[in-house]
Chains A and B, each alone.
Chain A
């Protein structure tokens, strides 16, 4: 997508993202409590995550490893030495009165994640400023409107490991932001870093956005940066950014207010209403009084450990797309579709392609049949009833000429519906190879019954033979349409 203003959008939207992902660890970042979602409130807690007097944190090494894996996949530099800091603020869902985070020495920095769309529409390299680790707060639920209602606090989430990924303001459109988030999510899921489940709060996005507006004398006016919060799907990120860009443009036209003259504003996305609303100024005026966490020791990272972590990581999606396209000689578009479905589907495809022996044929079946039915049925590829071996057999029999592709699709559908094997279905549908004598007899009958077609073909209109195929299939569903056509043309020529 171009970054230049057009008549339709007389400005450039400049976007940076802050993404929090919950790491897929069994236990919390600084204690042994479970991170399982959905437990009864305040059941996954201990003195440490409750912030009881005298309790101390101990770092979960697995969380650190997962975070490093994410940072490595994002091409970040990993600091040989990293420390923890306390971010101090009062809130009931923060029982210690501070969050253990990383301030001036994050464990990683200076990476990038490219979003490549094979159709070429959205493609950009987005720089990553930093990736750091921190603990999550608990959840407080209160009646915002009444102001006097009870507030309930659930500390199950308090202390859950979060990886914060901060980008440079490199994104140039809401669509691009959404595409980039999809790529990030895919990457993190591939690496087993996070399940990125936005409904359960495993992935949260805040966006910083402003506009660059060409104005008089070639000068670029920059509108004040707004941070948007409360977006709970990638779709709402895109919608919020579209709305906010329009809102900022309108405001700029009215006020001509530029960046730096007003403090950074925080706005919340109201999804049902489809608008952003100004939030309290608390955030901007906060002084978190960061200082080094004295209860934890700094973490040192050795080159050997980094190498081992890199080794154990597996291919990120971008590499896998290229490998898949090269190994199976499939178009980049196909590789993109397959990889975007996740690691398990790629494994299914590779198993299938190996058995079929031809990547493109396997890929066509994946795209047209497997993915379509998978989308309709729901569920994971691992639970898909037609396993690669069965599908490969079906494809093999089409190649042998036992039946044609459309017949194979019927068989595929029946296998899915009945749960029987390909052989069983073939037998039950009365599908049997039609021998040549049978075929000649059938074709002669057809030609005799269709003198008009014979005349047309003789007159040079070979395509007229197509009309015979439907009739042939009615007489015997097992005939191969290609063979019928060839046989009929042959017989007409001999007439």
Chain B
């Protein structure tokens, strides 16, 4: 059996048992990356040498009879929003081009400690802001199912590399749907854990109260394997939950009898593509067939989700991204070079003129350096969100925008609490359409924001969600299904998905491009 045909669970078992070397497994995926990534652009950096070195070390460890970590020999692709001390961490931004952090993110450290093999860093929307991966300063990712289409975002590179078999598993991050939506559009399985379940230390912050790292893989069982390693308390992240980590892979096979899944009729309104609606209803039917009960529920404040999200997230982002000012690291504008205005594009602020005091010279030179560094270093979507957030937090607007958004966020959280009195899970579409064309929405920020319609509330409520394929369009594009669960109910999310994946084979399908030459 080829390593690429194996599940991650089988792959680590084979390595542990000596049926497959870590080196062989790693080489297989590196070959696929070499063959395909020129067309897909899923990786911002590939660490061929480092990966082979790690793999060889794992094999040596096994030979020496030492205990192997739970992910021994498993190639993993890591979103470029996570700090790696041996690879650049750019967040797909010109601002951080070539930036090499002096430390590993907690999740990266855990992967290394588990003997996983990090093969490279994946492309994304700049600073995780976007739903199509077109906001990368290093070019968009192409959907392996149709290279003219977007893979979704912001974890588009992670989703595409798993879909195209360039890695068996990947790490993504999800602030408003950034794991689940690209997983849906690329036909893979992606889990956004409960807020605080996985340490955010070393994840370049977009919106701190919403960001959460999670696994992306071909199946729920593989996600469970990865989650077990990356979840758990980190004293270095004050928002991380100090609770034991369940053995996520151990309870997958329990049947779904008695499990109640909520269905929100409002999800099926105008805007939902009929093909998607059909596949989602079929999935509900499959769950019913598997023993679950489907109950219609109401999420009264769900319509306010996108508006709330697009206040909370930009407000936090405007502050989180203030550190990229050219003073300490990252992109700094060359002194004296003017910035040329581009018609129809967001323009940099005029440098603040001298302020008529002794330090005026320094002050104005400094402000000009800030303005130009940020004007040059950030892409338009990042600038748009920084401006939105800065505006909404300003004196006189705070109560009308940010404070109100926090109130609505509490209402949305309450919706979930109320819903989970009646049901154990909430099902539905993960996005309104299958993968859209590259460039189709990139000129229309509002249309792009609506891409997050079905996913943002999960983050606002701080609960968990999973997305997995539930069918294909006539055009051959994957359609995603989303399940959401109460806080810390990852075992149920994974079990329900695994049960579904035992009944269906959508998750086993591969895009033609992924087929390896014989």
Determine if A212 is an interface residue (Cβ-Cβ < 8 Å). Answer: no
Q: Which chain B residues lie closer than 8 Å to A81 at the CB level?
A: none
Q: How far is the CA of A57 from the CA of B323 in the complex (A)?
A: 15
Interface residues of A in 283-323 (CB under 8 A from B): 287, 289-291, 294-297
CB distance B325 to A97 under 8 Å? yes
Set of chain A residues within 8 Å of B101, measured between Cβ atoms: 47, 52-54
Is the C-beta of A142 less than 8 angstroms from some C-beta in chain B? Answer: yes
Q: Quick check: B238 and A295 within 8 Å, CB to CB?
A: yes
Stretch at the interface among B155-163, B177-185, B356-364: B356-364
**Interface pair B102/A52, CB less than 8 Å apart:** yes
Bound Cα distance from A453 to B10, whole angstroms:
120
CB pair B323–A95 under 8 Å, yes or no, is yes
**Cα(A95)–Cα(B320), bound, Å:** 11
Cβ–Cβ contact A53 & B235, under 8 A? no
B300 within 8 A of A: no
Looking at the complex, which one of A54, A57, A97 makes contact with B319 (CB distance below 8 Å)? Answer: A97
| A333 within 8 Å of B (CB atoms) | no
When distances are taken between beta carbons in the complex, the residues of chain B under 8 Å from A144 are 358-359, 362
Q: Which positions 200-252 of chain B face chain A at CB distance < 8 Å? A: 200-205, 207-209, 235-239
Within 8 A of B (CB), among A69-119: 86, 88, 90, 92, 95-98
Please name the residue on chain A nearest to B322 by beta carbon. A97
Please report the number of residue pairs spanning A and B whose Cβ atoms sit closer than 8 angstroms: 128
- Enumerate chain B residues within 8 angstroms of A297, measured Cβ to Cβ: 238-239
Interface-centre pick from B99, B316, B321, B327 (highest chain A CB count, 10 A): B327
Q: Is A282 located at the chain interface by the 8 A CB criterion?
A: yes
B358 contacts A145, CB within 8 Å?
Answer: yes
Report yes or no: B319 in contact with A148, Cβ–Cβ below 8 A. no
Contact of A58 among B205, B235, B322 (CB under 8 A): B235
A53 touching B323 by the CB < 8 A rule? yes
Query: What residues of chain B lie closer than 8 Å to A98, measured between beta carbons?
Result: 319, 322
Give the interface SS of chain B, mostly helix, strand, loop or mixed: loop
Is A430 part of the binding interface, using a Cβ–Cβ cutoff of 8 Å? no
A119 to B366, CA, bound (A): 53
A287 touching B394, Cβ below 8 Å: yes
A51 within 8 A of B: yes
In the complex, whether B63 has a CB less than 8 A from a CB of chain A is no
- B236 and A289 contacting across the interface, CB-CB below 8 Å: no
Which listed residue, B83, B203, B208, B356, touches A294 by the CB 8 Å rule?
A: B208
Asked if B402 is an interface residue, CB under 8 A from chain A, the answer is yes
Q: Are B390 and A97 in contact (CB under 8 A)?
A: no
- Contact of A279 with B by CB under 8 A: yes
Q: Are A147 and B359 in contact (CB under 8 A)?
A: yes
A373 interfacial contact with B, CB 8 Å: no
Which residue in A47, A57, A92, A146 is a CB contact (below 8 Å) of B327? A92
- Take A88-B319, A282-B355 as given contacts and tell me if A142 and B362 are in contact as well, using a CB distance cutoff of 8 Å: yes
Known interface pairs A50-B328, A146-B361. Does A281 touch B355 (Cβ–Cβ under 8 Å)?
Answer: yes
- CB-nearest residue of chain B relative to A57? B238
Which residue of A has the minimal Cβ distance to B396? Answer: A287
Q: Evaluate contact between B328 and A95: CB separation under 8 angstroms.
A: yes
Quick check: is B395 within 8 A (CB to CB) of the other chain?
yes
**Known pairs A54-B204, A57-B238, A295-B238; A147 contacts B365 (CB<8 A):** yes
Residue of A nearest to B393 (CB): A289
In the assembled complex, A475 has its CB within 8 A of some CB on chain B = no
> Is the CB of B315 closer than 8 A to any CB of chain A?
yes
Give A50 to B207 CA distance when docked, in angstroms: 19
Residues of A within 8 A of B395 (CB): 287, 289
Bound together, the chains give a CA A53 to CA B363 distance in angstroms of 25
A280 interfacial contact with B, CB 8 Å? yes
Cα A97 to Cα B202 with chains together (Å): 18
User: Complex Cα distance A144/B394, Å?
Assistant: 30
B152 → A minimal CB distance (Å): 23
The CA-CA distance from A149 to B358 in the complex, in Å, is 13
Q: How far is the CB of B163 from chain A (nearest CB, A)?
A: 27
Q: What residues of B have a CB within 8 angstroms of the CB of A290 in the complex?
A: 393
Mark contacts of B68-104 with chain A using CB atoms, 8 A cut-off: 1 yes-contact digit, 0 otherwise. Answer: 0000000000000011000001010000100101110
Chain A residues within 8 Å of B96, by CB:
53
Query: Would B323 and A97 count as touching, CB distance under 8 A?
Result: yes
Partner of B365, one of A47, A86, A148: A148
B370: Cβ under 8 A from any A Cβ: yes
Residues of B with C-beta under 8 A to A295: 205, 208, 238-239
Which A residue's beta carbon lies closest to that of B207?
A294
Residues of A within 8 A of B202 (CB): 54-55
Partner of A86, one of B83, B319, B329, B362: B319
Judged by a CB distance under 8 angstroms, whether A374 is at the interface is no
Closest Cβ–Cβ distance, residue B362 to chain A (whole Å): 5
- A51-B328 in contact (CB<8A): yes
How far apart are the CA atoms of A439 and B82 in the complex, in Å? Answer: 95
Please measure, in the bound complex, the distance between the C-alpha atom of A214 and the C-alpha atom of B301, giving whole angstroms.
59
- Rounded to whole Å, the gap between the CB of B335 and the closest CB of chain A is 10
Contact between B355 and A53 (Cβ–Cβ < 8 Å)? Answer: no
* CB-contact partner of A148 in B207, B209, B327, B361, under 8 A: B361
Q: Please, how many angstroms separate the alpha-carbon atoms of A282 and B356 in the complex?
A: 11
Roughly how many angstroms separate A9 CA and B265 CA in the complex, as a whole number? 78
Instruction: State A245–B229 Cα separation when bound (angstroms).
Output: 66
- Which residues of chain B come closer than 8 Å to A95, judged between CB atoms? 323, 327-328
Q: Are A96 and B394 neighbours in the complex by a CB distance under 8 Å?
A: no
Q: Are B361 and A289 in contact (CB under 8 A)?
A: no
User: Shortest CB–CB separation between residue A275 and chain B, in angstroms?
Assistant: 14
Contact B360 A296 (CB under 8 A): no
When each residue 236-274 of chain B gets 1 if its CB lies under 8 Å from chain A and 0 otherwise, what string results? 111100000000000000000000000000000000000
Contacting A at CB under 8 A, from B90-129, are 91, 96, 99, 101-103, 105
Bound-state CA distance A490–B358 (Å) is 83
Known: A95-B323, A95-B327, A291-B319. A90 touches B362 (CB 8 A): no
A54-B83 contact, Cβ under 8 Å, with A47-B103, A289-B390, A296-B238: yes
Q: Are A294 and B238 in contact (CB under 8 A)?
A: no
**Closest A residue, CB atoms, query B354:** A147
> How many angstroms between the C-alpha atoms of A291 and B403 in the bound complex?
9
Whole-angstrom distance from the CB of A166 to the nearest CB of chain B? 20
Q: Counting CB contacts under 8 A, is A56 at the interface? A: yes
Tell me the smallest distance from the CB of A299 to a CB of chain B, in Å: 10
CB neighbours of B208 from chain A (8 A): 294-295
A95 to B102, CA, bound (A): 16
Of all chain B residues, the one with the shortest Cβ separation from A155 is B328
In the assembled complex, which residues on chain A have CB atoms less than 8 Å from the CB atom of B367?
Answer: 90
Q: Which residues of B contact A148 (CB under 8 A)?
A: 361-362, 365
Q: Is A151 an interface residue (CB 8 A)?
A: yes
Q: Which of chain B's residues have a CB closer than 8 A to the CB of A399?
A: none
Residues of A contacting B323 in the complex (Cβ-Cβ under 8 angstroms): 51, 53, 95-97
Q: Kindly list chain B residues whose C-beta atoms are within 8 Å of the C-beta of A97.
A: 319, 321-323, 325
CB neighbours of B99 from chain A (8 A) = 53
* Chain B residue nearest in CB terms to A289: B393
Contact across chains for A56 and B394 when beta carbons are under 8 A apart: no
> Assuming A291-B402, A297-B239, is B355 touching A280 (CB within 8 A)?
yes
Q: CA of A54 to CA of B173 in the docked complex: distance in angstroms?
A: 13
A464 within 8 A of B: no
Q: A433 at the A/B interface (Cβ < 8 Å)?
A: no
Asked if residues B82 and A90 are in contact (CB atoms below 8 Å), the reply is no
B238–A96 CB distance below 8 A: no
Task: Collect the chain B residues with CB atoms within 8 Å of residue A90's CB.
Answer: 322, 325, 367, 370
Q: C-beta contact mask, A206-243 vs B, less than 8 Å → 1, else 0?
A: 00000000000000000000000000000000000000
Q: What's the least CB distance linking B436 to chain A, in Å? A: 30
Confirm or deny: A59 has a beta carbon within 8 angstroms of a beta carbon on chain B: yes
The answer on a CB contact under 8 Å between A59 and B238 is yes
Closest 10 CB pairs of A and B: A147-B361, A97-B322, A294-B208, A289-B393, A294-B209, A54-B202, A53-B204, A92-B327, A54-B83, A280-B357
**Could you write out 14 A-B pairs with CB less than 8 Å apart?**
A51-B323, A53-B89, A53-B99, A58-B235, A58-B238, A90-B325, A98-B319, A145-B358, A147-B361, A147-B365, A280-B363, A290-B393, A294-B316, A295-B205
Known: A54-B205, A96-B323, A282-B355. 4 other contacts (CB 8 A): A54-B203, A147-B365, A148-B361, A280-B360
